[in-house]
Amino acid sequence: MASTTATPLGTHPGDYIDDVMNQVKAKNPAEPEFHQAVQEVLDSLRLVLKRHPEYQSGRILERIVEPERLIMFRVPWFDDHGAMRINRGYRIEMNSAIGPYKGGLRFHPSVNLGILKFLAFEQVFKNSLTTLMMGGGKGGSDFDPKGKSDNEVMRFCQSFMTELSRHIGPDTDVPAGDIGVGGREIGFLFGQYKRLRNEFTGVLTGKGLNWGGSLIRPEATGYGCVYFAAEMLKTRKDSLDGKLCLVSGSGNVSQYTVEKLLDLGAKPISLSDSSGAIFDPDGIDREKLAWVKELKNARRGRIREYADRFKKATFKPADGALDHNPLWTIKADCAFPSATQNEINAKDASNLVSNGVKVVAEGANMPSSADATKTFLDAAILYGPAKAANAGGVATSGLEMAQNSMRLSWTREEVDKRLHGIMASIHKTCFETAETYGTPGNLVNGANIGGFLKVANAMLDQGLV
Ligand code: NDP
Ligand code: 2IT
């Protein structure tokens, strides 16, 4: 097992980074997604530490990989048959150097400590890139909303919030949605917080429009990701007009990615869920998208039904025995992975590249494995990593917080204009930072370094906390 003693000051920056990574693995065993997220950021920081020894002497890396606080709790609830059910709840308060903890809640059976730590870690850098004052956090539960009645989901959310409410607040920690947590869940969570605390405050984002929510927040992650892709294309004097686009997932992010792609003249041709993927050579137009929204948001059905409804479309079931995902073998100009982590492996990435993909913009968090990321960077395609490309969601959450503080609501046009401006500014930061640190075009380095610098400098200013 690697040593967990402090690396002596004066160690070569490269060895210091390796030591920190070994300590992360030793202290956080069996958390491969957390290791993957940390490794990617630390690799980018090799370029920074050579120029800025103060981050090493201030032990910023050891501090930034260590959550400020981990909260784990029991969530007991009754199902519709009167049986007792027990789930596990979590909130990771990762870093508050530049603002209150901010990040989503994920309800999915795969949720565990390592997955939430990877998400919370990424959130720190993403939130910094938005230019708004938000620290990083993430939470959730291994509760599976699939197949549960609205009443079961409500009882679960009330129990979850009964414990979580002790730890959050509008100036402390502001959760939002993520996989399995949408408008319905935020409503139940907000109602219970208000009842327990007797306070109507902006303690959650993604709220309903009549009770403190912001226009464009539901759309923001998907819209923002498409704006980011358009910014990347602009650097090669190109646009989304007429581009064939693969989109994975069929939830919040995927639906609004398809919507904005249609606005900008592109042709989205796929969607998926955990049961498989549909491919529609005619394109998913507005009418078909409205049908998908009804299928997924109201009926909570499976994407397979799309191929029954629209006869030209084909459905390919998910097959864990394959070494690749058939979705990523479809020829297209752009790919918008918008389902979940590690949904693109090395084989998928090389399939995309050999089919001539020009743009990959990540709507999901860490959808590409480390090898897949390397394949995209080596191929020098336009690759927008998640912490930059999907930051529009949390950025608009930041705008919701600002509106709540002022007790005002901006118009749809105002919020969309700000979102667009923020995505362009994130792209600029990533693009210019990649150049400054000697790796032009590498937006992975640009995002990791651009997000890191502001947080690291705030941590230095605030002393050893
Ligand atoms: P939703 O719950 O609305 O949709 C999730 C979609 O992904 C569903 O189609 C779901 O299929 C699919 N999916 C989830 N897990 C898996 C899996 N293990 N294998 C295959 N498919 C899977 O979530 P969102 O759209 O909000 O989130 C999608 C991604 O975007 C996540 O990575 C999330 O972290 C990220 N993100 C979300 C933001 C937001 O504002 N909502 C902001 C930034 C990033 P099924 O229904 O079968 O489970
Ligand atoms: O991953 C993410 O950025 C989100 N799920 C959105 C977080 C938020 O606070 O809006």
pLDDT (tens digit, 9 = 90+) per residue, 205-260?
999 999 999 999 999 999 999 999 999 999 999 999 999 999 999 999 999 999 99
- Is 1's pLDDT higher than 50? no
Contact 393, 220 (CB under 8 A): yes
Q: What is the mean pLDDT of residues 126-130?
A: 99
pLDDT tens-digit readout, 19-35:
999 999 999 999 999 99
- Is 461's pLDDT higher than 50? yes
The amino acid occupying position 405 is S
Contact 99, 455 (CB under 8 A): no
Three-state DSSP class for residue 270: strand
CA 341 to centroid of ligand 1, rounded, Å: 9
Specify the pLDDT at position 194.
98
Q: Rounded to 5 degrees, what angle do the CA atoms 349, 352, 355 make? A: 145
Specify the pLDDT at position 10.
78
Specify the pLDDT at position 8.
80
- Is 445's pLDDT higher than 70? yes
Three-state DSSP class for residue 90: strand
Ligand 1, atom 3, lies closest to the CA of: 251
**Closest among 141, 166, 148 to 74, alpha carbons compared:** 141
Structure tokens at 349: 């990435």
Structure tokens at 288: 């078909």
Looking at the domain 220-389, which fold is it?
Answer: Rossmann fold (3.40.50)
Contact 206, 396 (CB under 8 A): no
CA 394 to centroid of ligand 2, rounded, Å: 5
Q: What is the dihedral of CA 192, 197, 199, 202, to 10 degrees?
A: -60
Structure tokens at 231: 């910014």
Report the relative pairing of strands 69-78 and 84-95 from DSSP bridges: antiparallel
Give the Cα separation of 455 and 122 in Å (integer). 12
The single residue of 138, 243, 316, 347 carrying the catalytic annotation is 138
Same fold, 69-200 and 220-389: yes
Ligand 1, atom 33, lies closest to the CA of: 364
Q: For the domain bounded by 69-200, which CATH number is listed?
A: 3.40.50.10860
Contacts of 320 (CB under 8 A, 6+ apart): none
Residue 4 banded pLDDT, cuts 50, 70, 90: low
The amino acid occupying position 313 is A
Q: Which atom of ligand 2 is nearest to the CA of 122?
A: 1
Q: What is the mean pLDDT of residues 346-368?
A: 98
Ligand 1, atom 31, lies closest to the CA of: 364
> In this prediction, what percent of the chain has a pLDDT beyond 90?
97
Give the Cα separation of 314 and 281 in Å (integer). 9
Shortest-distance ligand to the CA of residue 120: 2
Q: What is the mean pLDDT of residues 370-399?
A: 98
- Is 150's pLDDT higher than 50? yes
> In this prediction, what percent of the chain has a pLDDT beyond 70?
99
Residue 45 banded pLDDT, cuts 50, 70, 90: very high
Give the Cα separation of 206 and 214 in Å (integer). 7
pTM above 0.85, yes or no: yes
Report the relative pairing of strands 84-95 and 244-247 from DSSP bridges: unpaired
- Is 344's pLDDT higher than 90? yes
The structural domains of the chain, with segments of one domain joined by +, span 13-64, 69-200, 220-389
Residue 324 banded pLDDT, cuts 50, 70, 90: very high
CA 217 to centroid of ligand 2, rounded, Å: 10
What is the number of alpha carbons within 13 Å of residue 140 lying toward its C-beta? Answer: 31
Contacts of 456 (CB under 8 A, 6+ apart): 55, 58, 60, 64
Whats the size of the chain, residue-wise? Answer: 465
Report the relative pairing of strands 136-141 and 84-95 from DSSP bridges: antiparallel
Ligand 1, atom 28, lies closest to the CA of: 339
Specify the pLDDT at position 7.
81
Q: Is 138 a catalytic residue?
A: yes
- Is 420's pLDDT higher than 70? yes
Q: What is the mean pLDDT of residues 175-197?
A: 98
Give the Cα separation of 48 and 440 in Å (integer). 15
Q: What is the mean pLDDT of residues 121-147?
A: 98
Residue 93 banded pLDDT, cuts 50, 70, 90: very high
What is the pLDDT of the chain when averaged over all its residues?
Answer: 97
pLDDT tens-digit readout, 271-316:
999 999 999 999 999 999 999 999 999 999 999 999 999 999 999 9
Three-state DSSP class for residue 82: coil
Contact 347, 324 (CB under 8 A): yes
Give the Cα separation of 250 and 462 in Å (integer). 42
